Amino acid sequence: MPTPQPGRKRLEACARAGRGSRAGAIARTAARYERARHLPKILAAKPDEIADLSLQGRRKLIARLIRLARNSARAGAGGHWSYDPNRHLAILGALQAERTALAALARGGDAEADKPLRAPSEIST
């Protein structure tokens, strides 16, 4: 007897749970992100690119991270042998952290942009 296939509601519930799990994993990766330590491995960024904390410098790095994330996602969707889900997660975490730092810098919080991001559990309310 064939195994019954999950229904539409079950598939939608699994998709919702997967999105929440993915968002949490990206947030945890972004919280542990250290620009000087992770960017050379993820992006092969040069020291002068890493040291550039200006708006333009961050925007250039974000553009490169977006391109890298798209290429990584394309490789994963295509089943390419070189796809690494942990690397893709690291790219997305770096992208989220850099976007957060850029937003803080654009708001005028220069000191905020230079600080390492903390995990939500470490932030007191």
What is the pLDDT tens value at each position of the chain, 125 positions in all? 666 777 778 777 777 776 777 888 889 989 999 999 999 999 888 899 899 998 999 999 999 999 999 999 999 999 999 899 999 999 999 999 999 999 998 888 654 444 444 444 443 33
* pLDDT score at 12: 77
Give me Rg for the CA atoms of the chain. 18
If phi over 0 gives left and psi between -120 and 50 gives alpha, with beta otherwise, what is residue 79?
Answer: left
pLDDT at 88: 93
Query: b/e per residue, 91-118, with b = 16+ CB within 10 A?
Result: bbbbbbbbeebbebbeeeeeeebeeebe
- Helices 8-31 and 85-106 meet at what angle, rounded to 10? 60
Domain boundaries, the chain: 8-122
